[in-house]
Amino acid sequence: MKRPFTRLEKKQLLIFALIAFGIPYLMGIPMAFGYQRGTSLDFFANAQMYYPAAGAIVVFLLTKTEFPMPRRFFYGYLVLTVLFAISSVLSVLIPDANLWVMVINMLTIAGNLALWVLFLLDKREVRFIWGLTWSGPDSRRHFLYVVLFFMLFTGNLLISSFTDNTADSFLALFASPMFWLSLLSLFVSFFLVFSAFFGEEYGWRYFLQPILQEHFGMRKGVLILGVFWGLWHLPLNLFYYAPDTRLQSIAAQLITCIALSVFFAFAYMKTDSIWIPVILHFMNNNIAGLISGGTVSGAVIEWKAVLIHLIFYSIFFLPFLASKVFRESETEKK
């Protein structure tokens, strides 16, 4: 550790942890209740993505009052977060799957459109202060990291498919024009669903990553963030993703989050734009869902699959820790 945490940093981290981690873990109680009743927990999975950014925003509103803020966007985001949290609990108390699918869709689309309006109403120079603009060195090349991630992500899935005898169906999917049309439609839909992915990345990458890197070093800070990010998913691992194979689900989640933390940090530090990790996170979740047919809950994970997951994610993403962007900024050395 480079230096002790200041009193202000401790206060900021406590506020962030209470919201980003405290709310999801408390939501584990109604999730367990819903799981026992066989109720859909989709709303909880959607809502949880909002809490990290909400935590960061509350930290900024309470401790960074000397700077002008994009208050319209920040307050709008907090309102949307509260609506998702309340709806999550209600979806268990009033178990009507069709009703809550409609509510999720309406709340997501209306909420995201409203956030874009609020976002644009705030002054650009104010948004710039809080990392909300498409900024950074040579911003015209930002999408190269999006293309690189797509190649790594699909390459990882392709090679992994040879280990479980699904390569033929995987290749057939990529040969289908419908797959590419669906992929194109995903990117169009980004503007209607961005808030959830912003919710994680603004909390993890924009707020927490720099603090951990400053105190633990550029590389170690990213790895620690990956562990925190993985454990943050714990209620979902226990009751949503793979409740019949919980230990395997937790292990696979930690592997995924540590590996992706490395690449997302790499892309963020190269571009200095939070929107790149937001887009990468959107791609990770939605392309995987497109390939798997949209099923993300109720999986059964074998330890063999966890081992394969560890091997290939390590091969494809961990080498980016050796990137010059980490070495140039390395300050924890003697």
Instruction: Decide if 165 is inside a domain.
Output: yes
Alpha-helix residue ranges (DSSP H) falling in the chain: 7-20, 22-37, 42-48, 51-63, 71-93, 97-121, 124-129, 143-161, 167-175, 177-201, 209-216, 218-232, 234-236, 246-271, 275-292, 303-317, 324-329
Which residue range is the domain that position 234 belongs to?
Answer: 7-329
Calpha distance 278→285 (Å, rounded): 11
pLDDT of 306 reads 97
Instruction: Decide if 322 is inside a domain.
Output: yes
pLDDT digits (tens, 9 = 90+) for 199-218: 999 999 999 999 999 999 99
In the chain, count H helices and then E strands: 17, 0
User: Pick from 283, 264, 253, 255: which is nearest to 321 by CA?
Assistant: 264
Per-range mean pLDDT, top range of 4-8, 48-52, 122-126: 48-52
Helices 51-63 & 7-20 angle (0-180, nearest 10) = 150
Instruction: Decide if 334 is inside a domain.
Output: no
Q: Quick check: 27 and 84 in contact, CB under 8 A?
A: no
User: Pick from 277, 276, 231, 214: which is nearest to 12 by CA?
Assistant: 214
What average pLDDT does the chain have?
A: 92
Higher pLDDT, 173 or 19: 19
- Number of structural domains (the chain) is 1
Provide DSSP, 198-218: HHHHIIIIIIIHHHHHHHH-H
Neighbours of 30 (CB within 10 A): 20
Q: Is the model's pLDDT at 184 over the cut of 90?
A: no
Q: Is the model's pLDDT at 87 over the cut of 80?
A: yes
Pair of tokens at residue 325: 């962007």
pLDDT of 293 reads 66
Instruction: Decide if 2 is inside a domain.
Output: no
pLDDT digits (tens, 9 = 90+) for 95-120: 888 899 999 999 999 999 999 999 99
pLDDT of 328 reads 58
pTM: 0.93
pLDDT of 331 reads 47
Q: Is the model's pLDDT at 310 over the cut of 90?
A: yes
Instruction: Decide if 1 is inside a domain.
Output: no
pLDDT digits (tens, 9 = 90+) for 54-70: 999 999 999 987 889 99
Q: Which of 75-79, 92-96, 140-144, 216-220 has the lowest mean pLDDT?
A: 140-144
Higher pLDDT, 134 or 137: 134
Calpha distance 246→262 (Å, rounded): 25
Dihedral sign of CA atoms 224, 286, 74, 206 in order: positive
- What confidence category does residue 140 fall into, taking pLDDT thresholds of 50, 70 and 90? confident
Instruction: Decide if 246 is inside a domain.
Output: yes
pLDDT of 218 reads 94
Residue 50 carries which DSSP code?
T
Pair of tokens at residue 218: 């550029």
Instruction: Decide if 325 is inside a domain.
Output: yes
pLDDT digits (tens, 9 = 90+) for 244-283: 999 999 999 999 999 999 999 999 999 999 999 999 999 9
CA angle 6, 14, 75 (to 5 degrees): 110
Instruction: Decide if 177 is inside a domain.
Output: yes
Pair of tokens at residue 303: 């330890």
Calpha distance 254→248 (Å, rounded): 10
Q: Quick check: 236 and 254 in contact, CB under 8 A?
A: no
